Structure formats: C-alpha cells, structure tokens
Amino acid sequence: RNDGRSQTLKILPDGSRPELVFATPSGRAIFHPRPHVNPEEMPDEHFPFTLNTGRLQHQWHTLTKTGKIATLNKLNPGPFVELHPEDAAELGIRNRDSVMVRSRRGEAVLPAVVTDRVLPGSCFAPFHWNDLYGDKLAVNAVTSDRIDPISQQPELKVCAVSLERVEVIASDAADGVGRSKANLEEVREGGEHATGLAFAPVAEATSRSLIRQFAETVGVSAVAAPSFSPAETAYLSGFVSGLDSSAGHISAIPALPVDAPVAPEHRLWLNGMLAGMFSRVLPLGLMTDLEVTTDKSKPSITLLWASQTGNAEALAEGFATQLRERGWQVKLQSMNDYAVSQLAQDQRALFVTSTFGDGDAPDNGGDFWAQLQEEDVSLAQLEFGLLALGDSNYDQFCGHGKKLFTRLQDLGARPLLDRVDCDTDYAQPAEKWFTELLARLATDGPASKSASTTVSPTKTTTYTKTNPFAAKLVINRKLNGDGSSKDVRLFGFDLDGSGLTYQAGDALGVWPKNCPGYVFELQQALNFNADTPVLVDNREKPLELALLENFEICRPTPEAVQFIAERSASPALKALLQVEQKEELQDWLYGRQLVDILHEFPIRCSVEEWLNLLKRIQPRLYSIASSSALFPHQVHLTVSAVRYTRYSDGKKTRKGVCSTFLADRCEDVAAPIFIQPSKHFHVPEDGDAPLIMVGPGTGIAPFRGFLQERQARGHKGKNWLFFGEQHAATDFYYRDDILQWHKEGLLNELSLAFSRDQARKIYVQDRMREQGEKIWHWLEEGAYFCVCGDASRMAKDVDQALREIVREYGKFDEVETVNYLRKLNMSKRYLRDVY
Ligand code: FDA
C-alpha cells in the first residue's frame, strides 16, 4: 500500500498517488528471468513418457480447475490426452480410446487424441478438469508436487508417466459418454484436426442435475416441445436433411432463418434447442450470434448497468432509447444478467454504474464484477465507455466505476472516451458524457452519420425527477409512543391530478427545502446579506431563497472544508486534511454541519466564492410503504426524522434536511415528488410463492406495501415478517395492522426482535438464526427473501445469518453456499432495498 509507511511514498509525475505500488524505484514489478532448469523427474523404464500439462498458460492456471472459466471451456470443452501416432500404434491406442495415464503419484483416465502436435515419447493433457466432472479426470493426481525452490511455485508442467489403453472411462458416465460420442461423431467428421474438442466432459448425472437446476431457475422446467403444424413439420424435415448433408462442415450454431415458415415462438424454441446442442461443441471463434432476429444492417452495442437506487438504471434506459432512435441495436442488461464470456464477443459496450458501500458494486453488479476478476479472459476486441455515479461525500467516490474501468483496461478493452465520475448532481455531466460518446460513435453510426450528436432533451410525458409533481402532504403521524428515543412517522401524499402510479417496492423521491433557521445561521456566520441577488440556473433570486431551495448547505464537502482550512489558515484543520488523517477527519466531521465548522474556524469570503463551493441540493429517496391497490390516490412513507445531539459541542442539536422538512415544515407547502421505480424489488409475480421479509426499523416500509398488495391481489403464498426496533411498547410500528394480519393468517409467521426489552440485545438476525431450519425449508419451497433498511450494519448481519443458515441446513461447503446464494440472487429471489 502506497501509504508512505512501509515504503517511500510514491507520487507520479502528474501528482497522483497510486493506491498500490511495488517497493521498487519505478513502483512497478520487475521480472527477473532465470535460466531453464530441467524438471526433477525425467522418463525412465517404468514411466517412459514425458507428460506436459501446460501448453498455454490457461491450461495450468489453478483457477481453471473448477471448469467455470467460459473461454477455457471453449478452448478445451473436455479432458483429453494427446499422443503421437507412432506411440499410439505401438500401444494399440486409437482416437478416443480411454487411456490410463499413470505416474509415481497417481493416475488419470482420459480419452485419447492421436496427433502429431506432440513429439514421439511425450504426451499432453490440459490440466483443468477435476473429479467433479467424472472419475479419474484430474491430471493433478498424476503431476509432480515438487516446487521450485526460488519462486516456490509448483513444478506442474512436466513429469514422467506410462500410458495404457483401458476399457472404461467412468462408471457413472459410460452411458452418457457413449451417447455424447455418438451425437458428436457427425459434427467431428470432415477432417477437423484432433484437439479433443468434442468430447462431453461432464458425467451424465451431473449434467442432468445442472440442466434441471438451470431449467428451474429460469422457470421453464415444465415447458414441453411445441406441436408443429403440417407446414412447419415439412419445413423442419427439409431443414434436418440440409443439416445432415452439411454435417461435416458445421462451424456455427445452426439457426432457422427469420423468414422460415415457422411461427416466431416455435422458431425461438427451435433456435434455443439448436444452440443448446451445438454451442458447446463448436470451437471458440466460430460461434454465431444466437439472436437470429438480429438485424445485421444495424451496428450493435451492449449497454450494461448496475444500480442500487435506480439512477444508473434510469440513465442507462434513457441512453438506450436515444441510441435506438439513432439506429443502434442495443442490448440493455443489468451487469449480473450478462456473462463476461458474452462480453468477450462484443465489439462495443457501455457501462453505467453507481457505487455502493465501501467502493463496492451495487447488488445487481456484484456477480459480474466477481466474474470479471476471476476470469482470465481477453477483451482486446472491445471498445467501451464508462459513466460512474457516486457521492463525493464518501471516501470511495465512484469507487466501483473506477475499479471497473481499470479492470476492463487490464483485460485489454480500449476506452472510447474518458471515464466521467458524476457526483450526486449527475444529470448534466452524464448528458455531456453521452453527447461526447455519440460523437465518438458517429463514425460507426448507422444512417445518421451526419445527424446531430447533441442529446435531445427527453420529452416529458409525466412527472419525473427533473419535473416533479407538487404534492400535498395529507398524513403526518408519529408512529412512536411517548418515551421513545425515535421519531418515526407515517407520511401520506395526495396523488390526485398527478397521473403518477407506483408499485409496492418502488421509492418516492422528495426534493426538500432547507430549514430557514439554518439558512439564517449560515448567512450570519459568513456575514452575508440575505437579499444579495444571485444567479441560479440563469435566474436571479435573493441569496436567502437560493440557500433555502437550491444548495446543500448542511453536509460539509471536502472542497468546502479545504476552503475553510485555507481561509482560516488553521494549522489544526489543515493537519486534519492530511491524507493519513482520513479516519480522524471522518470522525471529526461526523455530526458537524458546515455552519458548525464555520463557527469553529470563522472566515470571510464573497457570496460567489461560497456558492461555487456548494453542491446542488438533491432529492432524498424513501421506500414506498403502501400498495396502490389499496391507496390508488395516495402514497405512504415510513420515515425516521433525523435529529441528533452533539454532546462534544455543548449539546448542540442538529437535524437532517429532508426527513425534518417532511416532519416539521411540509404541511403548508406542496412538496416536489416523483416516483423512482424499482426493477425487481416487488412482490413475487407468482402469487403462490412464499415470501420472507426482513425489515427492522424503517425497513418495514416496503413490506407494509407488499402485504397490502398480496392481500389485495388475493395471493395465497405464505408470508413471514421479521421486524425489530428498540422497545415493543413504543417502537412497534403498524402494530395493530401487523397483529391483525398475523391473526387473519395473511402473515403466516411473525418474528419480532426488540433489542432493548431485555438485558441481552436481540436483533432480527438472531431471530433468523433461531428459525434457521424453517427458513431453509421455505427457501427450498421457492421462497423470495427480501431485506430492507440499514445498509451499514443490519443488511450485512442479515446476509451473514442467511449464509450460515444455507450452509448449515443445506449441508454445504463454502463454495456451495456461495453458489446457492448467487443462484438465489440471479433468479431475483434475494432482493434488497438497503440504504
Ligand atoms: P441529511 O441527508 O441532511 O443528513 C444525514 C446525515 O446526518 C448523515 O449522513 C450523517 O452525517 C448525519 N447524521 C445522522 N444521524 C446522526 C447522528 N445520530 N449523529 C451524528 N450525525 C448524524 N429513510 C427512511 O427514513 N425511510 C425509508 O423508507 C427510506 N428509504 C430509502 C430508500 C432508498 C433507496 C434510499 C437510498 C434511502 C432511503 N432512506 C429512507 C434514507 C433517506 O433517503 C434519507 O437518507 C434520510 O431520510 C436522511 O435524509 P435527511 O435529508 O433527513 O438527512
């Protein structure tokens, strides 16, 4: 770590400080070449052949033993051992015979590929198959476990073996392998040179279980083959004859043409089946686009987003629409829904991502990011653009976007334009990035080569973030009883006349106004005149109004703190701003608002200087706490009013902007609101699916909406709610509704955790652990698992408890547990709305 502690701090000529450097003068790693050294073990009379297990670096990369690396699987879709024709003749071995490869350590049984790619006396087997795919396929049972004394790396590549033809490959695979051979025989005829491409590597039982899992996950396990009309049958029999006659030359996935006299849904099914049969047996580079409806006359682009609160997603959707209007074919997907192996085939891709937590990927980008890190894939064919969203108040500002950009470049992809990191006020920089992107794409662009590349403002058809609806607050009810330390409220807005619609699970955006008392205090601290005219969005208004409506005046930004440190010439504040004081600075800032810092370090500056430092005020999002089925003309929220006391500062009370705007100052003014739709965080479409909801504190909000919705829709699926707060007597929000739902049976299970009602603190994750076995059974019955509320602690603790439950009751090891949760996530059954 380039922190100046363990080594000299490295500052690059442009002034930047890379986070990681090697402890060398250049900061880069140095490669020290060494002379060739013979392997320890050379052939002898008992083991007369030299086995090489690494022709390409991929083939002996340890990460590849899992068989999960898509490019490798295409390179060597199955295990094999290559041996020279002379040796093969002497040993009586023919192509695809089973060969026992034996060394002093162990043995593997692999299908033979007879080829002069290897020299007489040697043989080659790729290293990356393990016993998960069948008995005795793992070459590392055979290879030497010696290590090189200097690098400490295993000497994997060469050892001495004997070769012998044997009858059986794997007991449970005999039938499946035999059948695979028969199927593939046709494809392999025609002189394809022997690289062992087309041998089914996976034992049939394993394959079938994986296929079943896949079918269940995508919800097609019960779908049968369509029945074809006589005309379709006639066409298909001709198609099969055609395939038959060209069987020796098939080098791409066969597909029915778009104009085939076959119903579109039948064509889709048939093309899917052909892809399923042929895609695994074709060598890398010869695959065609599965999407046969693709219009080849249009250039295509992949647009991937990862979004926690929907901003990145909405931007990506807007970009996709504009690109389509300009004639592009756009593949728009969340990152997790896109495989890195697919990306390795794309020519152009755009990425729009926000950052979550500590520089991490948003939930719907985490798996993609993990794949991108694990996979040893080349993206040299790819040109890309990346737009990062973030909040500069956080340390890892746009952290995920930055990491993704670097990783894509490391894998060989070339940026079409510079990455842009957008702060909370992202609309303009995002638009600028997109305009520049269009200019870069214009040379490739479709019809509109000469078309203007200026982004046309999206036509507003409804109320949106930039065109919010002025809504009247009609409910403001405190949900805590007397004596509670919390101030959580139910708010209701009247939607009449707005045309706004929502689904339980969406969020409501609220544009707040600052507290007049804080505006006054700030003007006093800086000695500003409230009436000073200022320009905001080309409109003149008094300073006081601009501070009330347009600027974020409470949260200290790094630029503002830096400015105050310089103007006040305070050594103490300057010292806090040193890089190595980051944590101390954060602790010091926690709970301090800008005006608090100004009181401690008074400065003088012009109004213009000050406004240039401030960010634009941003809307806050709140999880919708009602169902439109029950409240078509209202939208409800459950909001905790942020109020806190700083004891270190003479018991000064401070408050959050928006939550207290709603609680204290919203009743007589219309509040600008908009709906922020959520893509997946909704009640399951399948009304019979069980639903587990974990929503402590204000996290209860969406689940009130979910339960209202399931009741209104007459869904019969079981429901289980985990709720928690400090005290049952004062903090059991929606107590009457919840107990009634439990009594009526809408809520089949109710687990409550009031942390401070007993000596030992009990949280929802503790309740989950107590009920682990039942949760596991619900999951196995297809339950959806939804979490809402605090991201910093609760969501992590709940995730951990869920992992433990899956591991214990599923009887899984670590890898299987991760895969189970990944599957849950990918099938959109593990959903989170955390903040
Ligand atoms: P503001 O943003 O002005 O201030 C918050 C800051 O105050 C904190 O960052 C911290 O620095 C400081 N602070 C807070 N407590 C402090 C303490 N005890 N000591 C010292 N400093 C402290 N909220 C909710 O109540 N119900 C909901 O349903 C949802 N749903 C939701 C969904 C989604 C998708 C998101 C992204 C967020 C939510 N939120 C929420 C959170 C909500 O958007 C908002 O962040 C909070 O209401 C706080 O906003 P304010 O403008 O009131 O505080």
DSSP string, 162-223: EEEEES-S-GGGHHHHHHHHHHHHHHHTTT---SSTT---S-HHHHHHHHHHHHHHTT-TTP
Count helices and strands (H / E) in the chain: 26, 27
* Residue 713 amino acid letter: R
Nearest alpha carbon to residue 126 among 188, 181, 201, 179? 201
Question: Could you tell me the distance, in angstroms and rounded to a whole number, from the CA of residue 642 to the centre of ligand 1?
Answer: 7
What is the CA(40)–ligand 1 centre distance, in A? Answer: 64
- State whether residue 241 is helix, strand or coil: helix
- Indicate which residue's Cα is closest to atom 31 of ligand 1: 622
Q: Is the CB of 705 under 6 A from ligand 1?
A: no
Of all protein residues, the one whose alpha carbon is nearest to atom 25 of ligand 1 is 639
Six-digit token string for 705? 């909406």
- 715: Cβ below 6 Å to ligand 1? no
What is the tens place of the pLDDT at every residue in 433-462? 999 999 888 755 444 433 444 444 333 347
* Residue in 310, 307, 323, 309 with CA at minimum distance from that of residue 365: 307
Short-list 527, 487, 474, 519, CA closest to 670: 474
Ligand 1 pocket residue status of 791, Cβ below 6 Å = no
SS3 827: coil
Instruction: Give me 395's structure tokens.
Output: 């340390």
Judged by DSSP in three states, 110 sits in strand
pLDDT of residue 291: 36
Protein residue closest via CA to atom 30 of ligand 1: 622
Q: What value does the CA radius of gyration of the chain take, rounded to a whole number of Å?
A: 32
Longest CA–CA separation in the chain, Å = 100
Q: What is the predicted pLDDT for the residue at 223?
A: 63
Name which of 632, 630, 629, 655 is nearest 642 in CA terms: 655
420 within 8 A of 388, measured Cβ to Cβ: yes
Q: Are the CB atoms for 78 and 196 separated by under 8 Å?
A: yes
Q: What is the pLDDT of residues 81-104, one digit of tens each?
A: 999 999 999 999 998 889 999 999
> Nearest-CA neighbor of 300 among 337, 339, 264, 350?
350
Tokens representing 51?
Answer: 């086995």
Which amino acid is located at 3 in the chain? D
Check if 701 has its Cβ closer than 6 Å to any atom of ligand 1.
yes
What number does the ligand 1 atom closest to the CA of 659 have?
A: 52
The ligand 1 atom nearest the CA atom of 310: 34
Distance (Å) of CA 780 to CA 689, 694, 798, 827:
11, 18, 18, 13
What is the distance in A from the centroid of ligand 1 to the CA of 354?
Answer: 18
Is 659 close to ligand 1, i.e. is its CB under 6 Å away?
yes
307 within ligand 1 shell (Cβ under 6 A):
no
d(CA 184, CA 181): 5
H-only helix segments in 492-645:
516-526, 543-549, 558-568, 571-576, 582-589, 594-600, 607-613
Residue 509 CA to ligand 1 center (angstroms) comes to 13
Query: For tokens 């305070």, what's the residue?
Result: 570
105 Cα to the center of ligand 1, angstroms: 61
What is the spatial distance between Cα 395 and Cα 536, in angstroms, rounded to a whole number?
A: 29
Instruction: Confirm or reject: Cβ of 618 under 6 Å from ligand 1.
Output: no
Torsion over CA: 19, 20, 24, 29 (sign):
negative
Tell me if 387 sits within 8 A of 318, measured CB to CB. no
Kindly report the CA angle at 280 between 277 and 281, in degrees rounded to 5?
Answer: 85
Phi first, then psi, for residue 443 (nearest 5°) are -65, -30
Q: Whose CA is nearest to atom 6 of ligand 1?
A: 656
779 Cβ below 6 A of ligand 1: no
- Cα distances (angstroms) measured from residue 309 to each of 312, 505, 509, 624: 8, 11, 11, 13
508 lines ligand 1 (CB under 6 A): no
Q: Which residues contact 307 (CB under 8 A, 6 or more apart)?
A: 313, 314, 316, 334, 352, 353, 354, 362, 364, 365
* HEC letters along 8-39: CCCCCCCCCCCCCCCCCCCCCCCCCCCCCCCC
Pocket test for ligand 1, best of 589, 666, 835 (most atoms within 8 A of CB): 835
661 Cα nearest atom in ligand 1: 52
Site to probe by mutation for ligand 1, drawn from 659, 678, 831 as the one with most ligand atoms within 8 Å of Cβ, is 659
In Å, how far are 68, 80, 140, 203, 835 from 128, measured between CA atoms?
10, 11, 9, 16, 42
* Closest atom, ligand 1, to C-alpha of 699: 28
Nearest to 49 by CA among 40, 41, 38, 61: 41
Nearest to 831 by CA among 397, 336, 466: 336
Ranges of the chain with pLDDT below 50: 63, 71, 74, 169-202, 281-293, 445-461
Mutate to test the pocket of ligand 1, among 364, 585, 621 (most ligand atoms within 8 A of CB): 621
